[in-house]
């Protein structure tokens, strides 16, 4: 397939996203992460403190990716950016600590992940997220992340419009608890059962693609960004939700799994791309998803900006380099993603180097 040429609106969107990213988003996210790093350093429990600090060091680019959605509104919105960063920091923190051994993995994981629902429901009572392990004390770190998100939601004029859609997507994030089950057979059986409970939703997808789509936060971030507008209409919120769930979320989950394929194979962690018959089949599936997913984004309000952001997310994965089993597919995936990715990949690589150097400087 020939590479699609960009439209003038897409070019303007790319320039706008890049300019705001360089001049505001990146430095502001860095300051937000510095604040959470200081908060994490005061966690009383030494194991939780080490997990929180290591997660912030290792996953700092995830927060930058989440904050990309702060460029969707036409004006800078610090409350939105703070919300996006805090939600991603909470998600990454939970992703780390739910990997720790527990007597009842599911009960502990689901209790912790209730925080991701509470974070998007300012009127809900706060839960005791460590009730299954009361001897652990994070000094209020997770609760502070939740409360920061709730304040951010309350500050968004269109939040009431997106609230039910965002909460539905947040409820689906509980699938990540199943992803962390240590027994592979038990994990796959639990994920199959979870997918079957969805009934008719996403019925065209196999069970592992359903759970993969549910494990992504990108649809939540797109909805929160849309809620920055006081003129957001319910039909526009539904259109955004439908474009991201499942297509965008599935695509980015598969890209993440593809990049981590070798690491997951060594560690025994759950790998979504490993469910395909072979690496070529996984790459073919991603190759087919890309153009259809990006085409749907063009019809959204502010479609060019959605297109640039999602393409930028794909570029972030491609910029990391693909494992040897997928190395032959790198070129066709870049071409399939289009001209924006060809521009974004070298920029993303440069950004990663800058961010890594900055993180290293702070550790010293």
- For 164-206, how does the pLDDT look when each residue is reduced to its tens digit (9 = 90+)? 999 999 999 989 999 988 889 999 999 999 998 865 567 789 9
Annotated domain spans of the chain: 8-363
Higher pLDDT, 248 or 5: 248
CATH no. of 8-363: 1.10.600
Token look-up 């992703």 returns 95
What DSSP string describes 76-94? --HHHHHHHHHHHHHHHHH
CA–CA separation, 5 vs 8, rounded Å? 10
CA–CA separation, 66 vs 86, rounded Å? 10
* Pick from 243, 259, 252: nearest CA to 295: 243
* Pick from 86, 128, 87: nearest CA to 111: 128
Token look-up 């060594």 returns 266
On average, the pLDDT of the chain sits at: 88
How many C-beta neighbours within 10 Å does residue 308 have?
A: 29
Q: H helices then E strands: how many in the chain? A: 19, 0
Token look-up 């319910």 returns 234
Q: List pLDDT tens digits, range 66-117.
A: 999 999 998 899 999 999 999 999 999 999 998 776 667 788 899 999 999 9
């Amino acid at each position: 397939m020939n590479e699609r040429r960009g439209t003038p609106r897409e070019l303007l969107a790319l320039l706008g996203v890049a300019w705001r990213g360089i001049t505001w988003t990146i430095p502001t996210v860095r300051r937000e992460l510095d604040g959470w790093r200081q908060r994490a350093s005061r966690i009383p429990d030494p194991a939780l403190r080490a997990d929180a600090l290591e997660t912030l060091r290792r996953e700092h680019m995830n927060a930058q990716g989440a904050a990309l959605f702060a460029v969707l509104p036409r004006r800078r919105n610090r409350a939105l950016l703070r919300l996006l960063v805090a939600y991603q920091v909470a998600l990454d923190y939970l992703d780390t600590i739910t990997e720790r051994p527990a007597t009842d993995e599911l009960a502990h994981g689901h209790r912790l992940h209730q925080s991701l629902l509470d974070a998007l429901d300012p009127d809900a009572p706060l839960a005791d997220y460590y009730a299954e392990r009361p001897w652990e004390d994070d000094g209020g770190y997770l609760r502070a992340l939740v409360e920061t998100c709730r304040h951010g939601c309350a500050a968004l004029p269109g939040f009431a419009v997106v609230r039910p859609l965002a909460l539905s997507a947040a409820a689906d994030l509980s699938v990540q608890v199943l992803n962390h089950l240590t027994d592979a057979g038990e994990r796959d059986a639990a994920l199959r059962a979870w997918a079957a409970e969805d009934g008719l939703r996403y019925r065209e997808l196999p069970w592992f693609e359903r759970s993969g789509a549910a494990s992504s936060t990108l649809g939540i971030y797109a909805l929160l960004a849309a809620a920055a507008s006081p003129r957001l209409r319910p039909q526009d919120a539904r259109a955004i939700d439908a474009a991201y769930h499942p297509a965008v979320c599935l695509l980015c989950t598969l890209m993440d799994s593809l990049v981590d394929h070798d690491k997951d194979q060594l560690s025994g962690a759950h790998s979504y791309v490993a469910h395909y018959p072979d690496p070529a089949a996984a790459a073919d599936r991603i190759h087919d998803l890309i153009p259809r997913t990006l085409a749907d984004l063009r019809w959204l309000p502010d479609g060019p900006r959605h297109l640039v952001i999602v393409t930028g997310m794909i570029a972030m994965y491609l910029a990391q380099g693909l494992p040897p089993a997928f190395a032959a597919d790198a070129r066709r995936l870049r071409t399939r993603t289009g001209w924006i990715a060809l521009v974004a990949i070298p920029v993303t690589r440069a950004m990663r180097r800058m961010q890594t150097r900055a993180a290293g400087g702070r550790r010293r």
